[in-house]
Amino acid sequence: MKLIRFGTLDHEKPGIILDDGRRIDISAFGADYDEDFFGGDGLKELAVWVKANAATAPTVDAGERLGIAGLGESRQVARAFTGLA
């Protein structure tokens, strides 16, 4: 599972790329990729959610713009190093 954000700049939603290559919208998971997510049990809780919901979660079109998985200061640092907007 790879973490992604997708959608237009500054209006992105959280998503993942599954091992089989499918991209799914995880907005219904209820948490975003912020410091609490990464500093707590976010990845573990997301894995449980994905196991239960991946088959019915909305898919993300392959042509959809992808962004950096993260919010706040960590996102700004990632943007600076990658040059992504």
Domain total for the chain? 1
| Of residues 34, 33, 25, 20, the one with CA closest to residue 64 | 25
pLDDT of residue 9: 85
pTM: predicted TM-score of the whole model, two decimal places: 0.78
**Domain extent for 25:** 2-82
Q: What span, in angstroms and rounded, lies between the C-alpha atoms of 20 and 1?
A: 9
pLDDT of residue 36: 87
Residuewise pLDDT in 10s, the chain (85 residues):
999 999 998 899 999 999 999 999 999 999 988 888 888 999 999 999 999 999 999 999 999 999 877 665 555 544 444 455 5
46, 17 Cβ separation under 8 angstroms: no
The distance of Cα 73 from the centroid of its chain, to the nearest Å, equals 16
